Amino acid sequence: MRRIYLDHTATTPLDARVFRAMEPYFSETFGNASSIHRYGREARQALEQSRAAIAALIGAEPGEIYFTSGGTEGDNLAIRGVVAAAVGKRRGIVTSGAEHHAVLDTCENLATSGVPVTVLKVNPAGSVDADDLRRAVLPTTALVSLMHGNNEVGTISPVAGYADIAHTAGALFHTDAVQTAGRIPVDVQKLGVDLLTLSAHKMYGPKGIGALYVKKGTPLEPILRGGGQERGRRPGTENVALAVGFAEAFRLSVAEMEAESDRLRRLRNRLEELIRAAFPGVIVNGDPEIRLPHILNISFDSRTMPMEGEMLVINMDLHGIAVTSGSACTSGSMQPSHVLLAMGRDPATAKATIRFSFGRMNTEADVDETTEALKQVVEETRGTNREERREKRGER
């Protein structure tokens, strides 16, 4: 069976070019970047070159980039670090119900210790209304955290406008750009953000490393204690090999971004057209225009086409197609997507959802095979559902 991977929002395969760039730092240039002998200096040089490369790709200064273990730690450091550094009564957080769990769960945890947290509703496209945000940011608000591009439905939010609202009210602004970096242009100067989260494995880099951009002068307390690495804000021996891989993966993604984004957009649009033709009542989630080029998220309306969501994903996998129903961090539980619920979908429709996310390895043939597989899976799932309903009515 030919297998097709359409879950690139969960993770991407390591690019062979990235692996080659990393390889010497696993064995030959293995020194601790904090050591002052030659081995350490060589490692430090590679680390700082990688930091400078990542900074340049987002319009930052090298000293504003802090390496982390990935997106989740980056979000935690941004939110917890700002709250811990907050002075006086300005400790509140404003976020939205469509954020990644790395943000939502962190905010929920801080709320249990008395930090004021406001979770804004999102519109049917998955973004926050500017007027709602303006009303929510109070003199007690320390930080607004709203993602750049939604990892489930692909909606791109007007982050620059959000940041301006936060700053006008005297608050800092953080955005999770894990899904957008390497896919669309990300420039911290144009976005006007104070903190921005990145992750390497979403852009064909290695797992286990990310970065947090912290604008110069932004107050931020470390959430880990230990050595003085990363200028005291993120202790722990730096992983030089992964940093090198991160920088190379990001460089390649940006260099190939325009052509690759156009290609992925064509594949996504083709799949959307074929699915709409096959299932006229299907719901396409997210903003129809302002969205990431590689994500297509569809739901089957529970009112007109009831579907068992778990069976959709499992049966697609049995047909060789790797998809998911939502965030990789929560899809294993097969609970309704919190993002879709926040957008107003009913639980049954939210569960009957498939997210397709394209990457470098995908082709038009993948789109056509995926469409045919989905037709079969939907028919199989509907047939199973009909049999189950008949059994419940005692017809068998």
Question: Active-site residues: which are they?
Answer: 329
d(Cα 307, Cα 386) in Å, to the nearest integer?
Answer: 10
Q: Are 6 and 356 in contact (CB under 8 A)?
A: yes
* CA neighbor of 299 nearest in space, from 327, 273, 276: 276
The helix/strand/coil state of 149 is: strand
The token pair that represents 207 in the structure block: 């797992």
Q: Which of 54, 52, 34 is nearest to 44 (CA)?
A: 34
DSSP string, 110-159: HHTTT--EEEE---TTS---HHHHHHH--TTEEEEE--SB-TTT-BBP-H
- Please state, in angstroms and rounded to a whole number, the distance separating the CA atoms of residues 384 and 338: 27
Tokens of 32: 């601790």
Give the number of other Cβ atoms within 10 Å of residue 232's Cβ: 12
Q: How many CB atoms lie within 10 A of CB 263?
A: 18
Find the length of the chain: 396
